Amino acid sequence: MQQNKKGFTLIELLVVIAIIGLLSTMSVLALNQARARARDAKRISDVKQIQTALELYYNEEGSYPASVTTGGTIQSTAGNVYLAAVPTPPSPIDGGSCPATQPAYTYAKQTTSGTGGSYTINYCLGATINTVPGNALQTATPAGIKL
């Protein structure tokens, strides 16, 4: 008498479980990389937004503001608001050579005699985005993002 058993063997089940585990691990790694790239893209977008607000301020005031702080506003003396709240960089900080003490965008005004001055905005990227190298402290000026 021949007995037909329907079902899966233990080996078949273990192989399927191993394949599912491998696929889920690969998808989690890809998701983490996408999140890191999204954080870097937001950092560049934030810096460009700050630069635009600073240029609008400069066009009205003839110089750059003395200070810009995270969460603060960029507003002219006439009351025109160019940036309601200076953005905060996304966390966690990406990149091994980015200092852990760099949680915010750092603005510094440079004064030169006879002109409205200049500024620098320091920020950190974890990976290279387009032509902006990653894993290092970056600087943006009125001329753009330095490479």
Task: Write the pLDDT tens digit of every residue in 101-147.
Answer: 566 788 999 877 666 689 999 888 877 777 777 777 888 999 887 65
Two structure tokens written together for 43: 């950092």
Cα gap 115→65, rounded to integer Å: 13
Percent of the chain exceeding pLDDT 70 equals 88
Q: Confidence class of residue 23 from pLDDT cuts 50, 70 and 90? A: very high
With beta carbons less than 8 A apart as the criterion, state whether 74 and 81 touch: yes
**Tens of pLDDT along 67-83?**
998 889 999 999 999 99
| Residues 110, 114, 116, 118, CA torsion sign | negative
Buried b (16+ CB within 10 A) or exposed e, 99-133: eeeeeebbbebeeeeeeebbbebbbbbbeebeebe
In the chain, what are the domain boundaries? Answer: 11-145
